Amino acid sequence: MARAGFRSPWSLVPWAAALLLVLSVPRALALPEICIQCPGSVQNLSEVALYCKRTPELMLQGHCCLNGKGTILGLDLQNCSLKDPGPNFAQAHNAVIIDLQANPLKGDLANTFRGFTQLQTLILPQGVSCPGGINAWDIVTFYISNQTCQGQRNLCNSTGDPETCPENGSCVPVGPGLLQCVCADGFHGYKCMRQGSFSLLMFFGILGSTTLSISLLLWGTQRRKAKTS
Ligand SMILES: *[C@@H]1O[C@H](CO)[C@@H](O)[C@H](O)[C@H]1NC(C)=O
Ligand SMILES: *[C@@H]1O[C@H](CO)[C@@H](O)[C@H](O)[C@H]1NC(C)=O
Ligand SMILES: *[C@@H]1O[C@H](CO)[C@@H](O)[C@H](O)[C@H]1NC(C)=O
Ligand SMILES: *[C@@H]1O[C@H](CO)[C@@H](O)[C@H](O)[C@H]1NC(C)=O
Ligand SMILES: *[C@@H]1O[C@H](CO)[C@@H](O)[C@H](O)[C@H]1NC(C)=O
C-alpha cells in the first residue's frame, strides 16, 4: 500500500536525464534575440533573402541569414519600427549584409557598427548617413526611399598616413570609419612608448586598489563604531 508509492531516488535519474534533454534541445536551436524580436517575416525579394538564397550553405531563419554554425551573416530588419538598433544588435557583428530601411532611425550610427568589420552592404532609411561617413565606403547610393553603403573601406590602408599609429603600434580596422592602434608585443601605454610586461603592472594595480578600498572601508566602519560607543 504505502510501499507502492515509494521510489528510490535513483529511479528518478532517467527522468531527470530526459527532462534535461528536452530542455537543452530547444536551447541549442534557439535563434539569437536580434533574429526574432521583430514580428513578421522577411520578404522574398529583399536583398538579404536573395543573398541567403544565392549561397547554398546559408539558411534564412527569422530575420537572419545564418551559416551552419549559427553565425549571423545577414540581417533584415526593414520596416520594424526601430528608433535605434537596440542592445541585441551587436549579435550581428559578423554580418556581411544588413537592411535597416523603412525604420524611423534617429541619431548617429557610427558607434552602433563598432566591430562590424565584415559588413559589405548596408541599406539604410533615406536621410540616415552611412556610418563613418562617405569616405568609409567604396560606393554610397541614394534612392528615393533608402540609401545603400557598399564596400567597407579599410581606413588603415586608404589613409596612407604612416603617422596614424605610433612607431611601435599597428593599425587595425574595427568597423566602418573606425580604426584602432594596437601596441606591438612588449609595448603598452600612451603612444605605445612604454616597454615591459603590462599584465604584471595591471595585477599590482588591481591588488593595490582593492587593498586600499578595503582599508578605507574598515577605517570608516571602525570610526563610526568609535563615535557611537
Ligand atoms: C515566397 O517564397 C515562398 C517559397 O519560396 C512562397 O511559398 C511564397 O508564396 C513567396 N511569397 C511571395 C510573396 O512571393
Ligand atoms: C510595413 O509593415 C506594415 C505592416 O506592419 C505594412 O502595412 C507596410 O506595407 C510595410 N511597409 C513596407 C514599406 O514594407
Ligand atoms: C531602395 O529604394 C528603391 C526605391 O526608391 C527601390 O527600388 C530599391 O529596391 C530599394 N533598395 C533596396 C535594397 O531595397
Ligand atoms: C590592407 O592592408 C593589408 C595588409 O597591409 C592587406 O592584407 C589588405 O588586403 C589591404 N586591404 C585593402 C582593402 O587594400
Ligand atoms: C620602438 O621600439 C624600438 C625597439 O624595438 C625602440 O628603439 C624605439 O624607441 C621605440 N619607439 C618608441 C616611439 O617608443
pLDDT at 145 over 90: yes
Of all atoms in ligand 3, which is nearest to the CA of residue 147?
A: 1
C-alpha cell at 124: 539604410
| Substitution site in 165, 168, 170, 181 for ligand 5 pocket (most atoms within 8 Å of beta carbon) | 168
CA atoms within 13 A on the CB side of 82: 26
Confidence at residue 1, expressed as pLDDT on a 0 to 100 scale: 42
C-beta of 44 in contact with ligand 4 (< 6 A): no
Residue 195 CA: distances (Å) to CA of 6, 92, 180, 188: 70, 37, 19, 6
526601430: which residue's cell? 82
How do 72-76 and 97-99 pair as beta strands?
Answer: parallel
Determine the average pLDDT of the residues in 117-122.
Answer: 98
Which alpha helices (H) appear in the chain, and where do they start and end?
13-29, 33-36, 47-54, 155-158, 198-228
**DSSP letter (8 states) at residue 206:** H
pLDDT at 20 over 90: no
Helix (H) / strand (E) containing 181: strand 178-183
Q: Ligand 4, atom 1: nearest CA belongs to which residue? A: 157
Confidence at residue 2, expressed as pLDDT on a 0 to 100 scale: 43
Confidence at residue 110, expressed as pLDDT on a 0 to 100 scale: 87
**Confidence class of residue 14 from pLDDT cuts 50, 70 and 90?**
low
pLDDT at 208 over 70: no
Pick from 212, 151, 199, 197: which is nearest to 176 by CA? 151
**Length of the chain (residues):** 229
Confidence at residue 166, expressed as pLDDT on a 0 to 100 scale: 86
C-beta of 160 in contact with ligand 4 (< 6 A): no
Q: Could you tell me the distance, in angstroms and rounded to a whole number, from the CA of residue 43 to the centre of ligand 1?
A: 8
C-beta of 102 in contact with ligand 2 (< 6 A): yes
What pTM was computed for the model? 0.74
Confidence at residue 201, expressed as pLDDT on a 0 to 100 scale: 44
Q: Could you tell me the distance, in angstroms and rounded to a whole number, from the CA of residue 222 to the centre of ligand 3?
A: 69
C-beta of 81 in contact with ligand 4 (< 6 A): no
pLDDT digits (tens, 9 = 90+) for 55-93: 999 999 999 999 999 999 999 999 999 999 999 999 999
**Residues framing ligand 5 (Cβ under 6 A):** 166-168, 193
Confidence at residue 86, expressed as pLDDT on a 0 to 100 scale: 94
Of all atoms in ligand 4, which is nearest to the CA of residue 153?
A: 13
pLDDT digits (tens, 9 = 90+) for 150-184: 999 998 876 555 567 888 888 899 999 999 989 98
Confidence at residue 204, expressed as pLDDT on a 0 to 100 scale: 47
Across the beta sheet with 137-142, what order do the strands follow?
59-61, 64-66, 72-76, 97-99, 121-125, 146-152, 137-142
Confidence at residue 186, expressed as pLDDT on a 0 to 100 scale: 87
| Closest ligand to residue 146's CA | 3
Determine the average pLDDT of the residues in 1-30.
Answer: 57
